[in-house]
Amino acid sequence: MPTSIRNLIELCTVIPILTVSRREDAAPLARALKAGGLRVIEMTWRTQDALDVLTEMKNAEPDLIIGMGTILEPGQVEPAQRAGADFLVSPGLTRDLETALESAQCPVLPGVSTASEAMQAAAAGFEVLKFFPAEQAGGMAYLNSLRGPLPEIQFCPTGSITRDLAPQYLALPNVVCVGGSWIAPSRLIESQDWDAITENAAAAAALTD
């Protein structure tokens, strides 16, 4: 499993972001994403069973690298790691969360949406940042503008990114990967349309080439 964020981003170009309510969907969903050729996944912590779903996905497909998203508070760091999270993702940073994430035993992708937040996160030692919510916060034009003053900072944009927008974001020099729910949206998970998810995953995996 990757030990640094640099290691992690070498393994992915597109990260499916999942919100899963039913534990029974964990194993078939893991298999569907793997069949499509994706290896790195973010599970949002927005449902009651999110931790168990992550654990069950890891048990079903141990090669998958699954991060726990929606980390908002220091108290979530330990349980997420105990559930098997290979990395942690937050939509933003507070001072307390920054301290907790600095001591996490796995790679971390903290969220920012402004130049000041990016500078603060970079100063705290985070090397790759989630740009969230990407489309609403200024999209590609904003990321392009950050590149002038902040050329060293690399981003993984997420938030309303679509299959069509993903390659355009990936073409930006300061974008190392993108994430989004379009590969496995909740409606496809709820209808258990594993073939459609595999198809979306394969299209996303092809963006790596």
- Binding site residues, ligand 3PG, CB under 6 A: 17, 44, 69, 132, 158-161, 180-182
Q: Which is nearer to ligand 3PG, 169 or 182 (CB)?
A: 182
Q: Which is nearer to ligand 3PG, 64 or 204 (CB)?
A: 204
Q: Is 98 a catalytic site residue?
A: no
Q: Least distance to ligand 3PG from the beta carbon of 148, Å?
A: 25
Q: At what angle do helices 26-35 and 50-60 cross, to 10 degrees?
A: 50
Question: Could you write out the DSSP letters of every residue in 116-133?
Answer: HHHHHHHHTT--EEEETT
Tokens of 17: 């972001």
The CA-to-CA distance between both ends of the chain, in Å, stands at 22
Q: Which is nearer to ligand 3PG, 158 or 200 (CB)?
A: 158
Q: Contact at 8 Å (CB) between 115 and 92? A: no
Q: Least distance to ligand 3PG from the beta carbon of 204, Å?
A: 12
Q: Is 42 a catalytic site residue?
A: yes
Q: Least distance to ligand 3PG from the beta carbon of 29, Å?
A: 16
3-class DSSP state of 79: helix
- Which of 56, 58, 130, 135 is an active site residue? 130
Distance CA 4, CA 20 (A): 26
- Which of 34, 42, 58, 61 is an active site residue? 42
